[in-house]
Every structure is written in C-alpha cells, then in structure tokens.
Amino acid sequence: MTYDPFVGQKRAARITAQNYRQIAQDLQLQAANYEARANEAEGFAERVHRQRSLHKKLMAAIEAQRSRLANCPFTIPAREFDISVTAAKRFYASQLREQRERERRFRNAQIMKMYERGRTNGQIAAKFKMHPVSIQRIISAERRKCS
C-alpha cells in the first residue's frame, strides 16, 4: 500500500462539496418556502383590501340611510349587501367603537404631550373639557403602560 499525502485533503474536499450541496438544497427549500409565504401574504393582502372596501361601502350605505332619518337605517344596506339587519347593526357598532378608541388614543397622546411639557392637570383639563381627576387617571394609566 502506497502512502498518498493528499488523502486527507481529498477527503476534506469531498466533505466540503457534500456540505455545499446540502447547503444549496437547504437554500432552495428556504427560497421555495419564502416564495410560498409571499404568495400567501399577497392573497391575504387582497382579501383584507376587498374586506376593507366592502366595509367602507357598507358604512357609507348605513350613513346615507341615517342621514335620511330612516326608521331603520340598516334594512336597505343589509339587503344591498346580502347580510342580516343584525349583522349590519353589529358591524356599525363595532366601527363606532373602533372610531371612539382611535379618538381616545389620540386624545390621551395629546394629554401626555401637554403633561410632559409641564402643564398642570387643571390646564390640561380645561383644554379638553374634562375633570382634573380624569386627567390624572389618564396620565397614571399611560405611565403604567410605558413602564
């Protein structure tokens, strides 16, 4: 048996080539996985977009009926969108809740800005037409959230 000084290097090269092949396969699988996730996200984004546009149309229809002082402003939009009157009422109530929540968050952010600028609770309360104790509660709650 003859001694080959390059046996260790050849074996290392084979192992390295196998490793690179395995890495390449793993990367191909990852790429396919990412592509599938991207396609799934695009489909989800389309569904969300369709749902939001449907929500906007339904809200517009309900508001149009409310402005006409209709007895039940939900009947016509419910028929138009092929949903029950109860579902239309629940949707409208949820939209109003979300809107009030957004307004409340915005108001609380304004209160915190004024507080951080050194305004007193009385000054802040006068601006927002609220009681100073309510302002103190809001400030305490917001500070707890940040901690």
Average pLDDT of every residue of the chain: 82
* CA–CA dist 16, 121 (Å, integer): 70
Residue 62 shares a structural domain with residue 92 = no
Q: Containing domain of residue 4, as a range?
A: 1-83
The reported pLDDT for the residue numbered 95 is 86
Residue 68 shares a structural domain with residue 112 = no
Residue 66 shares a structural domain with residue 90 = no
Residue 109 shares a structural domain with residue 61 = no
Can you read off the two tokens belonging to residue 136? 């103190």
Residue 66 shares a structural domain with residue 113 = no
- For the stretch 117-127, pLDDT in tens is 999 999 999 99
- The pTM for the full model equals 0.54
Residue 70 shares a structural domain with residue 132 = no
- For the stretch 20-77, pLDDT in tens is 788 888 888 888 888 888 878 888 788 888 778 878 888 888 777 776 656 677 777 8
Residue 70 φ then ψ, to 5° = -70, 155
Residue 68 shares a structural domain with residue 96 = no
- Chain centroid, CA 122 distance in Å: 35
Token match 């304004």: residue?
Answer: 110
Residue 72 shares a structural domain with residue 128 = no
Residue 18 shares a structural domain with residue 67 = yes
Please count the structural domains in the chain. Answer: 2
**Amino acid letter for position 128:** F
